[in-house]
Amino acid sequence: MTASDCDIIIIGSGFGGSVCALRTAQAGLRTVVLERGQRMTPEAYAALADGKAPVFHAEREPGVLELHRLSGLLALTASAVGGGSNIYTAVTIRPPCDIFEDHWPPGINAETMTSYYDRVERMIAPTPIPATPPRMAALDAVAARMNASAVRLPLSMDWPDDPAALCRRPEVGGVYQELATWLQGGYAASKRTLAQTYLSQAESAGADVCALHDVVAITPASGGYRVDYRMSRNDEWHDGSVLAPRVILAAGTLNTTRLLLHCRDMSKTFPEIGPTLGQRFFTNGDFGGLLVGANLDLPPDAGPPVTGWIDLWDRERIYLMETGLVPFDFGSFSGLLNPVRWFGGLRLGPAKRSTWSFGTMGDDTNPGTLTLGRSGRLAHRRDRINGKAFHARTMAVLRGLATVTGGKMIVPPAAVAKRLPITVHPLGGAVMAESPDTGVADTFGEVFGYPGLYVADGSLIPAPTGVPPSMTIAAVAERIADHLVGGPPPE
Ligand SMILES: Cc1cc2nc3c(=O)[nH]c(=O)nc-3n(C[C@H](O)[C@H](O)[C@H](O)COP(=O)(O)OP(=O)(O)OC[C@H]3O[C@@H](n4cnc5c(N)ncnc54)[C@H](O)[C@@H]3O)c2cc1C
């Protein structure tokens, strides 16, 4: 790629990046998207299922999952064209209105965001599961025993013509096969990723989406910014750069924050970015456990990874999401490898006792801070340990679930959970605010002190969303894109 050959460069093709790519291309701007990961074609999934492709991203090895092992945090994100939509469980949902009441800039609230959420909903068109597999029926019953209600979640899925196919018992494969099936939406449904919605339309509108382009540096240059990358072609890596008056950082919460910290503190290309960079990082209250030995006769089904949750928002500000039956028989692990041995001599009953996984998430407002070590690695620390109350409520919810089902809940030990929170919904770190005293970017994502440099991904979100955040990230990106191109897109 040669210099000055585009109007806008977008780094990353997840929810924020894809939305911006479509809207800028529709407005006639020459748009280049630089994405570090590969395209998840049928061949790429087949290689994954056969165990012939790397699962985890490493430098110069494009795996679809990125495991961030930070001091003080474990996080899982995606690395592929379409970002997190390749690995998410497809829940596309608006947050409760009251999340906008704290720490969001004035003027951004449930009402002013409605038209942007509507737009995302029209594009992604999520729908609830059209059948009732046994685990969904069980969730209804369990919710009633907890004096709450179960909700069928809106999912970005294409459902089979015959919904009964979602309830049939699948033929379980090996670990890689299961992973590839899970990523694609299960045995009977098919997940719609951004590659089928925003990104395909962006490419039709003229956006140039460049896979296997790993951005390593951003530098102010000639009235804009130069973006340096390493790209893979024919299994060889080459260096390149591209210049544009405007750049949008949409590399995901952790990678955007890391890139900005690197530019401010190591390469010193953005020395004016203030001390709020890295602050107000949230795990969105992510936690979870395995329900074992419950009095539930649950056969595995061919449905999607997630079907619904128990809504405890009004009571606990927590959602308890069922995340599928674990297709492994713990009884077959022997000796020390058997998790059952670690957790109090628990005995699993006959095979009909299922292992059911649950994820919790919610309004954990306890912020953390991301910093960059000398080696260039991110580290995380909780600002203050006042998250105890939230964690205690989460544990009470999980114990309550075990009690009403007559089972046991396997969770990470408290000491580990406190020191090493785990998240799949990282948010914040380069948050939007009214002034540089309180955030990194203005309310349209433009970085204070660097005109033309924008942030449009999870790192911009200034508070937990409680619900899975992709729809909010996309809606905020729609708002940023309107500002960039001077108005809403054509209907
Ligand atoms: C297992 C799992 C399940 C989930 N389920 C849900 C769900 O059901 N619903 C929901 O709302 N959310 C879910 N999430 C979270 C959701 O995936 C994220 O919140 C969302 O993808 C974040 O969007 P983003 O735009 O911030 O960045 P991402 O979607 O993470 O995209 C960032 C992109 O930037 C690329 N990139 C990073 N660094 C560079 C670089 N240096 N150069 C070029 N490209 C780069 C990455 O490869 C990636 O493709 C889930 C996450 C996980 C891990």
Report which ligand 1 atom has the smallest distance to the Cα of 253.
26
Radius of gyration of the chain (CA): 22
Phi, psi of 148 (to 5 degrees): -140, 180
Is residue 3 one of the residues assigned to a domain?
no
Give the chain's length. Answer: 491
Report which ligand 1 atom has the smallest distance to the Cα of 456.
25
| Centroid of ligand 1 to alpha carbon of 409 (angstroms) | 29
Percent of the chain with pLDDT over 90: 84
Whose alpha carbon is nearest atom 3 of ligand 1?
88
How far is it, in rounded angstroms, from Cα 245 to Cα 262? 21
Report which ligand 1 atom has the smallest distance to the Cα of 81.
49
Token look-up 């196919």 returns: 165
| Centroid of ligand 1 to alpha carbon of 11 (angstroms) | 13
| Centroid of ligand 1 to alpha carbon of 249 (angstroms) | 13
How far is it, in rounded angstroms, from Cα 461 to Cα 469? 9
Residue of 34, 88, 183 best suited for mutating to test ligand 1, as the one with most atoms within 8 Å of CB: 88
How far from the centroid of its chain's Cα atoms is residue 403's Cα?
Answer: 31
| Centroid of ligand 1 to alpha carbon of 76 (angstroms) | 9
| Centroid of ligand 1 to alpha carbon of 341 (angstroms) | 35
Q: At 287, is the pLDDT very low, low, confident or very high (cuts 50, 70, 90)?
A: very high
The residues lining ligand 1, judged by C-beta closer than 6 Å to any ligand atom, are 11-17, 34-37, 76-80, 83-84, 87-91, 214-215, 250-253, 255, 424-425, 457-458, 468-471, 473
pLDDT digits (tens, 9 = 90+) for 145-156: 999 999 999 999
How far is it, in rounded angstroms, from Cα 476 to Cα 487? 14
Token look-up 């937990």 returns: 464
How far from the centroid of its chain's Cα atoms is residue 182's Cα?
Answer: 16
The pLDDT assigned to 297 comes to: 82
Q: At 232, which amino acid appears? A: S
Burial per residue of 336-368, b for 16 or more beta-carbon CB atoms within 10 angstroms, e otherwise = eeeebeeeeebebeeeebbbbbbbbbbbbbbbb
Residue of 470, 471, 473, 478 best suited for mutating to test ligand 1, as the one with most atoms within 8 Å of CB: 470
How far is it, in rounded angstroms, from Cα 268 to Cα 145? 57
The pLDDT assigned to 331 comes to: 45
| Centroid of ligand 1 to alpha carbon of 337 (angstroms) | 32
Q: At 373, which amino acid appears? A: G
Can you state the angle between helices 15-26 and 470-485, rounded to 10 degrees? 30
| Centroid of ligand 1 to alpha carbon of 185 (angstroms) | 16
Report which ligand 1 atom has the smallest distance to the Cα of 306.
8
Judge contact between 362 and 321, C-beta under 8 A: no
Per DSSP, what are the bridge partners of residue 210? 34
pTM: 0.95
How large is the average pLDDT for residues 333-355?
A: 51
| Residue 470 predicted with pLDDT over 90 | yes
Whose alpha carbon is nearest atom 35 of ligand 1?
12
- Structural domains in the chain (count): 1
233 burial type by CB count under 10 A (0-12 exposed, 13-18 middle, 19+ buried): exposed
Report which ligand 1 atom has the smallest distance to the Cα of 15.
25
How far is it, in rounded angstroms, from Cα 210 to Cα 10? 10
Q: At 370, which amino acid appears? A: L
Question: Coil, strand or helix: which one is 210?
Answer: strand
Whose alpha carbon is nearest atom 2 of ligand 1?
88
Nearest in space to 304 (alpha carbons), one of 187, 192, 194, 197: 187
Whose alpha carbon is nearest atom 21 of ligand 1?
84
Is residue 2 one of the residues assigned to a domain?
no
| Centroid of ligand 1 to alpha carbon of 253 (angstroms) | 8
The pLDDT assigned to 350 comes to: 42
| Residue 268 predicted with pLDDT over 70 | yes
Question: Coil, strand or helix: which one is 346?
Answer: coil
Judge contact between 182 and 191, C-beta under 8 A: no
**Stretch among 140-144, 222-226, 246-250 having the lowest mean pLDDT:** 222-226
Q: Are β-strands 246-249 and 453-455 bridged in parallel, bridged antiparallel, or unpaired?
A: parallel
Q: Which residues contact 89 (CB under 8 A, 6 or more apart)?
A: 155, 304, 305, 306, 323, 468
Is residue 69 one of the residues assigned to a domain?
yes
How large is the average pLDDT for residues 225-240?
A: 92
pLDDT digits (tens, 9 = 90+) for 209-219: 999 999 999 99
DSSP tag of 488: P
Is residue 445 one of the residues assigned to a domain?
yes
Opening angle at CA 221, ends 217 and 222, nearest 5: 155
| Residue 319 predicted with pLDDT over 90 | yes
**Stretch among 28-42, 384-398, 465-479 having the lowest mean pLDDT:** 384-398
Token look-up 């750069």 returns: 241
User: What DSSP string runs through 360-405?
Assistant: EEE-----EEEEE-TTS-EEEEESSS-THHHHHHHHHHHHHHHHHH
Q: At 346, is the pLDDT very low, low, confident or very high (cuts 50, 70, 90)?
A: very low
* Structural domain boundaries, residue 18: 8-485
The pair of three-digit structure tokens given for residue 309, joined into one six-digit string: 């949750």
Q: Are β-strands 368-372 and 356-362 bridged in parallel, bridged antiparallel, or unpaired?
A: unpaired
The pLDDT assigned to 351 comes to: 42
What torsion do the CA atoms of 172, 178, 180, 182 make, to the nearest 10 degrees?
90
Is residue 182 one of the residues assigned to a domain?
yes
| Centroid of ligand 1 to alpha carbon of 461 (angstroms) | 14
pLDDT digits (tens, 9 = 90+) for 374-428: 888 999 998 765 667 899 999 999 999 999 999 999 999 888 888 899 999 999 9
Whose alpha carbon is nearest atom 23 of ligand 1?
15
Q: Which residues contact 175 (CB under 8 A, 6 or more apart)?
A: none
How far is it, in rounded angstroms, from Cα 319 to Cα 313? 6
Is residue 283 one of the residues assigned to a domain?
yes
What is the edge-to-edge ordering of all strands in the sheet holding 453-455?
Answer: 208-210, 31-34, 8-11, 246-249, 453-455
Is residue 302 one of the residues assigned to a domain?
yes
Is residue 1 one of the residues assigned to a domain?
no
How far is it, in rounded angstroms, from Cα 305 to Cα 298? 15
CATH number of the domain that 298 lies in?
Answer: 3.50.50.60
| Centroid of ligand 1 to alpha carbon of 259 (angstroms) | 16
| Centroid of ligand 1 to alpha carbon of 80 (angstroms) | 9
DSSP tag of 274: -
Nearest in space to 176 (alpha carbons), one of 91, 74, 63, 89: 63
| Residue 60 predicted with pLDDT over 90 | no
Q: E strand or H helix at 244, and its extent?
A: strand 236-244
| Residue 438 predicted with pLDDT over 70 | yes
What torsion do the CA atoms of 412, 344, 409, 361 make, to the nearest 10 degrees?
-20
Q: Which residue has the higher pLDDT, 234 or 312?
A: 312
Token look-up 């929810």 returns: 15
